[in-house]
Amino acid sequence: MQVVILKDAAEVAAYGADIFTTQLKRKANSVLGLATGSTPVALYQELIKRNQANEISFAEVTSFNLDEYLGLDGSHPQSYRYFMQQQLFDHINIDKSHTHVPPGDAKNPITACGEYEARIKSAGGIDVQLLGIGRNGHIGFNEPSSGLTSRTRVKTLTKATIDDNARFFKADEYQPHLSITMGIGTILDAKKVVLLATGENKAEAVVAMVEGPLTAACPASALQMHRDAVIVIDEAAASKL
């Protein structure tokens, strides 16, 4: 696990964007694992800029998102599919049919999880997986107690995560308590993993991930076992290391 500590969120985004730029220049048909949440937004803005300046191309890229709320279809403004369209896909030259987000509206979510795994496999596996981290150490929606070898499956969200993400929902809006998420084992299969964390409110989770024991109580600690995991954080998120 390599830990890169930078001054602020802008530097973290630029560093993350450089990793993706290098990857796309090396392999135009890369398979990218993408994430939602507020942390990757600045990185996506940087990638959009570089794509529009013709520095990088997504024309041959395939993408797989980590997770989705169960019960929301992709046109729902709170769905992660919608988020990805707004924050990235609608602004770059990616072929929408090559972008994958777990289907929140699946009639049979359990079958859909197996199909998602199969699709990642048939694409050749993920080259670079982007991650954020929850304040409780979750990655994707792998909440504390998730199996360290888990695969894509339906997961119940913890109260802490529901409360943390409530800021994205209006007061009277339905907020799902279930998700489909890649498993920790699925994430560990990516050839490279890049986790971004910024701000003091992530400092506890960061110290547990980097210096704590390998434990299901902190799902992100599983990255200690990955051969090429880069943790890119700002000084505030690093303040408890």
Residues 6+ positions from 13 with CB-CB distance below 8 Å: 42, 43, 45, 46, 196
Binder of ligand GLP out of 133, 184, 223, 230 (CB under 6 A)? 133
> Could you say whether residue 144 binds ligand GLP (CB under 6 A)?
no
> Could you say whether residue 67 binds ligand GLP (CB under 6 A)?
yes
> Could you say whether residue 165 binds ligand GLP (CB under 6 A)?
yes
Instruction: Tell me the C-alpha to C-alpha distance, in Å, between residue 222 and each of 148, 149, 190, 229, 232.
Output: 6, 9, 13, 10, 16
Question: Burial, 89: exposed, middle or buried (Cβ in 10 Å; 0-12, 13-18, 19+)?
Answer: buried
> Could you say whether residue 63 binds ligand GLP (CB under 6 A)?
no
CA angle 164, 185, 37 (to 5 degrees): 25
> Could you say whether residue 39 binds ligand GLP (CB under 6 A)?
yes
> Could you say whether residue 152 binds ligand GLP (CB under 6 A)?
no
CA distance 138 to 136: 6
> Could you say whether residue 20 binds ligand GLP (CB under 6 A)?
no
Which of 46, 117, 127, 143 is labelled catalytic?
Answer: 143
Among candidates 139, 237, 153, which has minimal Cα distance to 188?
139
138 in active site: yes
Nearest approach, Cβ of 110 to ligand GLP (angstroms)? Answer: 20
Contact between residue 104 and residue 180 where contact means Cβ atoms under 8 Å apart: yes
Contact between residue 56 and residue 91 where contact means Cβ atoms under 8 Å apart: no
Of residues 104 and 134, the one with the C-beta less far from ligand GLP: 134
Q: How many residues bind to ligand GLP according to rule CB under 6 A?
A: 14
> Could you say whether residue 38 binds ligand GLP (CB under 6 A)?
yes
> Could you say whether residue 132 binds ligand GLP (CB under 6 A)?
yes
127 in active site: no
CA distance 46 to 39: 13
Which of 136, 142, 165, 234 is labelled catalytic?
Answer: 136
> Could you say whether residue 141 binds ligand GLP (CB under 6 A)?
yes
Nearest approach, Cβ of 167 to ligand GLP (angstroms)? Answer: 9
Residues 6+ positions from 187 with CB-CB distance below 8 Å: 33, 66, 129, 131, 139, 140, 142, 193, 222
Binder of ligand GLP out of 24, 32, 35, 128 (CB under 6 A)? 35
Nearest approach, Cβ of 148 to ligand GLP (angstroms)? Answer: 17
Which of 138, 142, 165, 189 is labelled catalytic?
Answer: 138
Residues that bind ligand GLP (CB under 6 A): 35-39, 66-67, 132-134, 140-141, 161, 165
- Residues tagged active-site: 67, 136, 138, 143
